[in-house]
């Protein structure tokens, strides 16, 4: 996944930087809330239940997005697209880890560490050209 952003118009919401559509942003944010409610870690079965509730349009949430701010709404999102467009990118970017042995998904700080590493890589590249900032 490629993240493109304009640093002069950087949104205050990280989900707006990472995800292309408002719907993806809402679903990803709800996934994080769901995981936080379960102590930051959920089983493979719980993830499947979350995706199925979304697919069936049975997942209820109170959104902080206008025009639904503070209102309880039912969310609907295709299960296959959830795995392809939400969960897989979040895993590949290091926002969520999957433990093969415990079969659990867990919130992760690897994304933060990798973004800092990218900044250091840029600094190193500039030094190759004799630029010390």
Percent of all residues in the chain with a pLDDT value above 90, rounded to a whole number: 87
Q: What is the pLDDT of residue 133?
A: 82
**Residue listed under structure tokens 């206008």:** 66
Tokens coding 83: 């795995």
pLDDT, one tens digit per residue, over 18-62 is 999 999 999 999 999 999 999 999 999 999 999 999 999 999 999
Q: What is the pLDDT of residue 47?
A: 98
Contact 91, 98 (CB under 8 A): yes
Instruction: Please confirm whether the linkage preceding 67 is cis (ω < 30° from 0).
Output: yes
Q: Is 94 exposed, middle or buried (0-12, 13-18, 19+ CB in 10 A)?
A: middle
Q: How far apart are CA 48 and CA 98, in angstroms?
A: 14
Beta strands in the chain (DSSP E): 41-43, 59-62, 72-75, 96-99, 104-107
* CATH architecture of the domain covering 13-108: Orthogonal Bundle (1.10)
């Amino acid at each position: 996944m490629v993240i493109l952003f304009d640093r002069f118009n950087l949104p205050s919401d990280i989900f707006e930087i990472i995800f292309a559509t408002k719907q993806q942003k809402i679903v990803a944010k709800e996934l994080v809330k769901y995981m936080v409610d379960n102590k930051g870690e959920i089983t493979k079965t719980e993830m499947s239940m979350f995706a199925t509730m979304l697919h069936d349009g049975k997942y209820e949430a109170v959104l902080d997005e206008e025009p639904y701010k503070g209102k309880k709404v039912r969310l609907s999102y295709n299960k296959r697209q959830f795995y392809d467009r939400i969960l897989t990118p979040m895993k590949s970017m290091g926002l969520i880890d999957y433990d093969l042995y415990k079969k659990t998904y867990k919130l992760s700080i690897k994304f933060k560490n990798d973004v800092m590493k990218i900044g250091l890589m840029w600094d190193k590249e500039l030094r190759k050209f004799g630029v010390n900032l």
